[in-house]
């Protein structure tokens, strides 16, 4: 769980990230310049040397490194339900959730039928949120609803997407397909006829992945 080599290489990384040499980092932390020498990490008898908690604390305080992030860098992975773990929710289809014993008397999911679903499972570092204004997208989206947009999620037929024109206009549509010269979409509300947009006029097509209610 805490592996000698990983602890030391995490220290190496802290030094690098802050543009210190090892002796520079030690000095900055108020320790002796030889404190983190690579040559002193394994003793002459082969015994592994670990830095003390006090030395580590000095590193964290000096560099502003969070001990949690340090441990993650040292290869420690979150435990299910623990800090940094992906949130998991009980999950079941509506039809199966109508079975007699899907909920207990307090209204909580119960029984073996429920699966686990990671929420929100959003891995796109470039995701952003758009807040709906007005009522033009009702009943689908109402004023104030938050749309979570994932630029890197591929847009496939039927997906709801945000399109931005090259002059900056944003519209929400249902993606149909992309052709060499056009992008075909359907409106989300109202008239259900295909709309053809000039591919050159579309700056991007980003997929909507979640909508607040």
Partner DNA sequence: GAAAAAATAGGAAAATATTCCTATTTAAAA
Partner DNA sequence: TTTTAAATAGGAATATTTTCCTATTTTTTC
Cβ closest to DNA, residue 39 vs residue 213: 39
Write the burial class of residue 9 (CB in 10 Å: 0-12 exposed, 13-18 middle, 19+ buried): middle
Give the number of residues in contact with DNA, rule: CB under 7 A. Answer: 28
Cα 177 from Cα 163, distance rounded (Å): 13
Residue 157 CB, nearest approach to DNA (Å): 55
Structure-token pair, residue 179: 């052709």
In angstroms, rounded to a whole number, what is the distance separating the alpha carbons of residues 64 and 60?
5
Choose among its own copies, DNA, none what residue 102 binds, the Cβ cut-off being 5 to 8 Å by kind.
its own copies
> Please, how many CA atoms are within 13 Å of residue 200, restricted to the half-sphere of its CB?
1
Name the strands in the sheet holding 160-165, side by side, starting at the edge strand that comes first in the sequence. Answer: 160-165, 170-178, 182-187, 195-198
- Minimum CB distance to DNA smaller for 15 or for 155: 15
**Is residue 21 near DNA by the rule CB under 7 A?**
yes
Decide which of its own copies, DNA, none touches 182; Cβ closer than 5 to 8 Å per partner kind: none
Q: Alpha carbon 60 to chain centroid distance?
A: 25
Partner touching 194 among its own copies, DNA, none, CB below 5 to 8 Å by kind? none
Task: Quote the least distance from Cβ 76 to DNA, whole Å.
Answer: 19
* DSSP label at residue 79: P
User: Is residue 52 a contact point for DNA (CB under 7 A)?
Assistant: yes
Smallest distance from its own copies to CB 99, Å: 7
Query: Taking CB under 7 A as the rule, which mask of x and - marks residues 28-47 in contact with DNA?
Result: --xxxxxx-xxxx--xx--x
Task: Give the interface with DNA as residue ranges (CB under 7 A).
Answer: 20-24, 26-27, 30-35, 37-40, 43-44, 47-55
């Amino acid at each position: 769980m805490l592996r000698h080599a990983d602890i030391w290489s995490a220290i190496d990384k802290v030094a690098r990230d802050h543009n210190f040499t090892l002796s520079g980092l030690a000095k900055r932390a108020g320790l002796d310049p030889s404190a983190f020498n690579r040559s002193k990490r394994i003793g002459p008898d082969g015994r592994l040397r670990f830095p003390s908690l006090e030395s580590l604390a000095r590193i964290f305080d000096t560099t502003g490194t969070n001990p949690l992030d340090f441990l993650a860098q040292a290869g420690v992975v979150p435990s299910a339900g623990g800090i940094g773990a992906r949130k998991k929710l009980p999950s079941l289809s509506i039809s199966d959730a109508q079975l007699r014993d899907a909920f207990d008397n307090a209204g909580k999911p119960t029984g073996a039928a429920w699966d686990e679903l990671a929420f929100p499972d959003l891995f796109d570092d470039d995701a952003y949120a758009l807040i709906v204004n007005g009522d033009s997208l009702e009943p689908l989206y109402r004023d104030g609803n938050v749309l979570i947009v994932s630029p890197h999620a591929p847009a496939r037929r039927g997906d709801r997407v945000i399109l931005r024109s090259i002059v900056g206009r944003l519209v929400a549509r249902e993606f149909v397909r992309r052709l060499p010269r056009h992008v075909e979409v359907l409106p989300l509300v109202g008239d259900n006829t295909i709309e053809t947009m000039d591919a050159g006029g579309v700056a991007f097509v980003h997929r909507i992945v979640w909508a607040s209610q």
